[in-house]
Every structure is written in structure tokens, then in C-alpha cells.
Structure 1
Amino acid sequence: MAAKGRNAVFVVFSIFLYAPFLAIFILAFQGPQGGLNFPLRDPSLHWFHDLIDPRSLSDFRPAIGRSVILALVASAITTIVSLAAGLAFRRRFTGSATLFYLTIGSLVVPSSLVSIGIGIICSMLGIQMTWWGSALGAQLTWTLPFGVLIMLAVFSHFDRSLEEAARDLGANRWQVLRHVTIPVVAPGLFAVALLSFMLSYDEFARTAVVAGSENTLPLELFAFMSLSVSPTIYALGTVTTLLSIGALVIATAVLIRSANRRRAP
């Protein structure tokens, strides 16, 4: 009975979690006369075509490009800095506790206040606010704390005897880092890169004030919904979700293959 109860709870939770996504996927195939709700009328790819039609109000391609570039840059910076922070915090140093609390402090500050604060600083310094400049800085205040926390957790379970063995065999500091440390913590780095990409790609509140005149995808979607609402948003959600799942599957397969190669004799 206990097992059946756990299974029932899992099924209910799964339905609660994934039913909205399933509804969006289905309604994305509404015909030209279809609306935002069921029933599904004249199934077609009409709204997917509307996504890439430059004459339509819902041409999200420029915004998607900006969001992808911004997320890739934020992910790369977050991964590199998080790795450096994880290595640094393996040993206590003067001010380490203060630096740690300052790093994660932005997580408890409302996102809108962070965005407004960065906007005020840019105005005082005469810096033009852009999606690739001030918006990137705002998003890093969100992605970096998560990345640092993940890498601290990863290094807390790191077996240092592996590095000591490599040094005993004559490896220098950089060789140990490249051939021992990074391969061992690679799954954690992958988690940081993936999480920071998703956090940046979806970020709205911290980007809203400091993105400048060119919108990222969340801002463009908000502006579109304030003017007109159509099944185009369902098509956009479907494409974005499928691309995200595809990228996750490919990256996971690459990691598994790399791990199997390391284990092979």
C-alpha cells in the first residue's frame, strides 16, 4: 500500500507539473481561426510560420538571437568564474567569509531593485544601457551566485589525493588542473553552464530596466502580449522547449561518452 501511495503521489505530481506544457504543445497547432483555448480547430503549422514571418507582429527572431548570445556569454563567464571561486574557496583566506556572503547576497535582493540600481549607476556614469552590456552585468548578479554555490558543493566532495598522486608523478600545477581537476569536476561545470544559460535566457526582472532599446526574448514576449495575444506564444514556447530538450540530450550524451572513454582501459 505504501508503494502504491508513493506511485500515486508521483503520478499526480507529474500531471500537475507537465499538463500545462502538454496543453501548450497541443494548442500551438491551432489553425488560423483557432484561439488560446480548446477545442483545437483546423490543426496546422500556421502559428509556427507566423514566428518566422518578418511581416508579422510576432517576428521574434532578433530577440531570440539576442537572448541566445547573451545567455551563452553569461554561461561562459559564470562557468569560468565559478570554477575559479571553487578553487579559491578550497582554502580559507582573509576575507573569504565576507566575500562568500557578498557573492550570494544578490540572491536575497529583489530582482527589480538590482535592475533599478544598475540603471541608476549607468545613468550617473553616463554609460549607455544595452542588452550586451548593462543587461549582461545585471544577469551575472543572478547567475554567478548559483554557479559559485554549485562549485563549492562539488569541491566539498573532491578527493584531493588524485591531485597529490598527479604531482607525485611529476605533473605541474597547470597539468594537474587540466588533466585531473577539471575532468573530475566536469559534471559540476556542465551543471553550472546549463543552469546559468537557462537563468539568463529566461531572465526578465533584472533585464527590464537595463536592456536599452533592443529587447531580449522575455521582454519582447511581454511587449507582444501587452498588444496582442495569439497562439503564436504557444508555438514559441513549443519551439524553445524542444530546442532546450534537444540541447540537453546532446550535451548529456557527450558527457556520458566522455566519461565512458575515461573509464576504458
Structure 2
Amino acid sequence: MNKRGFWPLALVFGLYVLFLYGPVITIFVLSFQGPEGGLTFPMRGLSLHWYEELFKGLGVVDIGAAVQRSLALGAVVMALTVLISLMAGLAFRKGFKGSGVLFYSSVASLIMPSIIISLGIGLQFRLFDTLVKGLLEQWEWTDALEAYTTLMGLYTSGLGAHLTWTLPFGMLIMFAVFNRFNPAYEEAARDLGATPWQTLRHVVLPLIGPSLVGVGMFGFTLSWDEIARSSQAIGDLNTLPLELQGLTTTVTTPSIYALGTLTTVTSLLVIFVALAGVALMRRRTRAT
């Protein structure tokens, strides 16, 4: 090892890690301020006071409900991202007309400004609302018209906005996985009399299982932290990141740091669970 070259590179790497994780560590430390503590250093005591205040509620915002909404939406986004990415990967293996156009249109949302996508989805659903109201008026369904509010919501426009962010990542991962997948395993299964479904279930899925776990992890964590694409398309009920963004202008106590710490810990738990699932799948694959 060249020590003259090692230490400058180590210093650069250390500064990079500090720049990347320094703000997270700072928020984590400040969340344990004492009752007299503020939003900055120096620390004034050490306690769980601000976590207790967080669970009591932050003003009119129901943090518990926001967490439940984000968890539920993240779970749905994760499931759909895994399912659609898997189906897309299987389809693109076979090849079909228009696959190139479909691919580039699918990943185009990665280079589009997130706020523009959010505005576009919001505008589209407002047009749908106008169409629905027009039809109800034309059909003279007065009761339905009075009860109707909007098609925008957590699992309609909000779900669509999040999928425009998670699906391209999931599809790119699955394309890379199937690009290096050895078809000899499938041929061997067919030679032994396995049906296409049995080949998929007992051969393909176990081999690509760790990659599917990774796709699911991406889907959940990207949805859990999403703000820009949710801002104009989520409807009346905010997710936790949107509530957290709003609280930064009204909450002036370390409770906001406690909330940020809990959301970060949730993301880390998802990552650790995913890594544990990958390790377990690989162990089972080696055992068989």
C-alpha cells in the first residue's frame, strides 16, 4: 500500500462521508436535547423530552395518522413496483415491437423535473373531475353530484405520482438482472417436464429473489421520502414528508428533529430488513 497516496484519498473519503451523513448525525444528536434545549448547539442537557412532546402531538398536525398514511402508501407502491418491474423484465426478455419506445418513455420521468410531473398529474385529475361533474350534471344525478369531491387522493393521483419515480428504478434493475440471467436454468427445467409457471416459480423467482427484494426496498424508501412529486398530486391528505416540510416553518423546538430521526430510522430499518432478506434467500439458494 502506497501510504503517500492512501492518506490524501482517505481524507477526501472521510470529508465526503462527513458531508453526506453529517446533517443526519447532527439532527440525531440535537433530538436528545434537554427540556431547555433549542435548535442549535450547544446541547442543554440530555433527555427524551422532545420525543415525548412529539408523541403528544405537534399543534394541529396528526403525526400518527401521517405516519400510517405514508407506511400504507409505501407498502402499496413497493408491491406494485416489484410486480410491474418483474413483468416488464420478463416481457423485455422476449422482445416485442415498440419495446424501445416503451422503454424510453418509461424512464423519461427520471430526467423530468419532479415538480412538473406533480403539476401535470394534478392538472390531469382536475380535468377528470371536470369531466365527471359534467357527466353527473348531464345525467341529472343530483345526489351524486353533491356528494362528489375529487378523484385526487392517496391511492389515485398520489399513487401514480410515486410510481413515476419508483418504476423506472425497478425496471432498470430488472433489465440488468435478466440481461445476465443464464437461460440454461430454464431450459433444464423444461427438459425435466416443468411447465412455464413451474419454471418461473421454482427456478427463476428463487434466483432473482434478492434483486426483487432490492426493487421493493427502492420502491418503499423512495415513496417514504418523496415530497416534490406528492406536493401537487396527493389530494387533501398529506404524507409524512409533506407534513414534516410544513412543520419546519411552524415548529421551533427539537421535536422536529425527533420526528426527522424517527423517519430516518424507519428508512434504515427497511434497508436492514431487505439486506437480511437477501442474505436469507442466498443461503437457501446455496443450500438447495
Question: TM-score of the superposition, structure 1-length normalised?
Answer: 0.94
Structure 2 distance, partners of 1:7, 1:42, is 34
Q: Which amino acid aligns with 1:90?
A: R
Per the alignment, residue 78 of structure 2 pairs with 75
Per the alignment, residue 259 of structure 1 pairs with 282
Per the alignment, residue 119 of structure 1 pairs with 122
Distance 1:93 1:229, change over 3 A: same
Is the Cα contact below 8 Å between 1:36 and 1:230 reproduced in 2?
Answer: yes
Q: Which amino acid aligns with 2:118?
A: S
RMSD (Å) for aligned C-alpha atoms:
1.6
How far residue 57 of structure 1 moved from its aligned partner, in angstroms, is: 4.7
**Is 1:224 the equivalent of 2:247?**
yes
Structure 1 distance, partners of 2:58, 2:88, is 47
Q: Which amino acid aligns with 2:278?
A: L
1:31-50 residue CA offsets vs partner (Å, 9 max, x unmatched): 22211110111211111112
Per the alignment, residue 239 of structure 1 pairs with 262
Per the alignment, residue 5 of structure 1 pairs with 8
Paired residues for 1:1-265 under 5 Å: 1-54=4-57, 56-57=59-60, 59-126=62-129, 127-264=150-287
Structure 2 distance, partners of 1:254, 1:192, is 12
Unaligned runs of 5+ in 2: 130-149
SS in 1 for 2:260: helix
Q: Which amino acid aligns with 1:131?
A: L
Structure 2 distance, partners of 1:59, 1:232, is 14
Structure 2 distance, partners of 1:47, 1:134, is 35
How far residue 208 of structure 1 moved from its aligned partner, in angstroms, is: 0.8
Is the Cα contact below 8 Å between 1:129 and 1:210 reproduced in 2?
Answer: yes
How far residue 245 of structure 1 moved from its aligned partner, in angstroms, is: 2.2
How far residue 79 of structure 1 moved from its aligned partner, in angstroms, is: 0.6
| 4+ aligned runs moved over 3 Å, structure 1 | 54-59
How far residue 3 of structure 1 moved from its aligned partner, in angstroms, is: 2.9
Structure 2 distance, partners of 1:228, 1:239, is 16
Residues 155-164 or 42-51, more deviating: 42-51
Is the Cα contact below 8 Å between 1:53 and 1:59 reproduced in 2?
Answer: no
Structure 1 distance, partners of 2:61, 2:30, is 17
1:199-240 residue CA offsets vs partner (Å, 9 max, x unmatched): 111111111112122110111112212223321121112222
Is the Cα contact below 8 Å between 1:71 and 1:198 reproduced in 2?
Answer: yes
Structure 2 distance, partners of 1:234, 1:54, is 14
Is the Cα contact below 8 Å between 2:69 and 2:240 reproduced in 1?
Answer: yes
Is the Cα contact below 8 Å between 1:51 and 1:58 reproduced in 2?
Answer: no
Structure 2 distance, partners of 1:149, 1:193, is 13
SS in 2 for 1:226: coil
Q: Which amino acid aligns with 2:199?
A: V
1:33-72 residue CA offsets vs partner (Å, 9 max, x unmatched): 2111101112111111122114745641111110111111
Residues 21-30 or 120-129, more deviating: 120-129
How far residue 253 of structure 1 moved from its aligned partner, in angstroms, is: 2.1
Distance 1:27 1:54, change over 3 A: closer
